[in-house]
């Protein structure tokens, strides 16, 4: 059996991929969110009002956005929430009258094939609702699915915390350095680069045998 220290080292080895994928996620989804907000000036104003305190760039707020919030949210939604829903689906399967009469292979695949996916959707839905409005909520739901998949794949919340922190940090950097009048073409290129970076990093993460 793999030692706890060896497993921890292997999890740490994927953190660079998580940081890069988090930056890519922010680049891509901030562009999509911007397109959606452009459809409604009221929604854009409400979003700006909600985000203004988070973008104050004070040391206290940077610590909150990049460390405390990712740590708390990953432990709550991917740690407790995802774990609870996985357990719930597993217990529901055990209560089926035919659970132990089915072929072992079929029974053994029930939770990985259906329960994990359903649990991931439920925790992501709660994560979206937690963010309080339709735009942030939709954005958070999709990202929550990604973070949930990372947690299930790694069997640890640590990679997700790294990715989540990277998403938030990249968002602060973009708001500070990217001029408000940046052209649509440049924003599109950044989004395309972000999507490519995200897919590349997550595929490499998924293919790493050390995390299975």
Alpha-carbon torsion 153, 157, 159, 160, what sign? positive
Q: Is residue 7 part of a domain?
A: no
pLDDT band at 143 (very low <50, low <70, confident <90, very high): very high
Per-residue model confidence as pLDDT tens digits over 102-125: 554 454 566 666 789 999 999 999
Residue 20 lies in a domain: yes
- Alpha helix ranges (H) inside 38-157: 41-51, 59-63, 69-73, 82-95, 104-108, 110, 116-130, 134-154
Q: Is residue 96 part of a domain?
A: no
Residue 5 lies in a domain: no
In a domain, 102, yes or no: no
Residue range 167-196: average pLDDT?
90
Residue with the bigger pLDDT between 54 and 23: it is 23
Number of H helices, E strands in the chain: 12, 0
Which domain, by its residues, includes 205?
A: 15-83+113-211
Q: Which residue has the higher pLDDT, 144 or 37?
A: 144
Tally of structural domains, the chain:
1
Kindly indicate the confidence band of residue 97, based on its pLDDT and cuts at 50, 70 and 90.
Answer: low
Lowest mean pLDDT among 78-87, 100-109, 123-132, 198-207: 100-109
Task: Give the least confident one: 9-13, 15-19, 25-29, 62-66.
Answer: 9-13
**pTM (predicted TM-score):** 0.87
Q: What is the DSSP letter of 157?
A: S
94-103, 165-174, 200-209: which has the minimum mean pLDDT? 94-103
Q: State what percent of residues in the chain have pLDDT above 70.
A: 89
Structure tokens of 62? 């940077």
Q: Is a pLDDT exceeding 70 seen at residue 180?
A: yes
């Amino acid at each position: 059996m793999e030692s706890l220290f060896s497993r921890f080292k292997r999890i740490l080895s994927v953190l660079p991929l998580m940081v890069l994928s988090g930056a890519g996620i922010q680049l891509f989804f901030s562009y999509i969110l911007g397109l959606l907000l452009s459809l409604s000036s009221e929604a854009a104003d409400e979003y700006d009002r909600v985000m203004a305190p988070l973008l104050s760039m004070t040391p206290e707020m940077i610590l909150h956005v990049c460390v405390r919030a990712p740590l708390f949210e990953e432990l709550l939604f991917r740690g407790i929430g995802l774990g609870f829903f996985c357990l719930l689906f597993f217990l529901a399967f055990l209560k089926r009258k035919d659970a132990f009469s089915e072929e072992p292979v079929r029974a053994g695949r029930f939770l990985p094939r259906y329960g994990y996916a359903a649990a991931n959707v439920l925790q992501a839905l709660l994560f979206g609702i937690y963010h309080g409005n339709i735009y942030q909520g939709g954005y958070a739901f999709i990202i929550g699915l990604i973070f949930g998949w990372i947690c299930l794949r790694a069997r640890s919340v640590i990679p997700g915390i790294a990715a989540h922190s990277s998403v938030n940090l990249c968002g602060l950097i973009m708001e500070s350095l990217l001029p408000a009048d940046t052209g649509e073409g440049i924003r599109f290129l950044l989004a395309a680069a972000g999507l490519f970076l995200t897919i590349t990093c997550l595929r490499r993460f998924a293919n790493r045998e050390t995390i299975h």
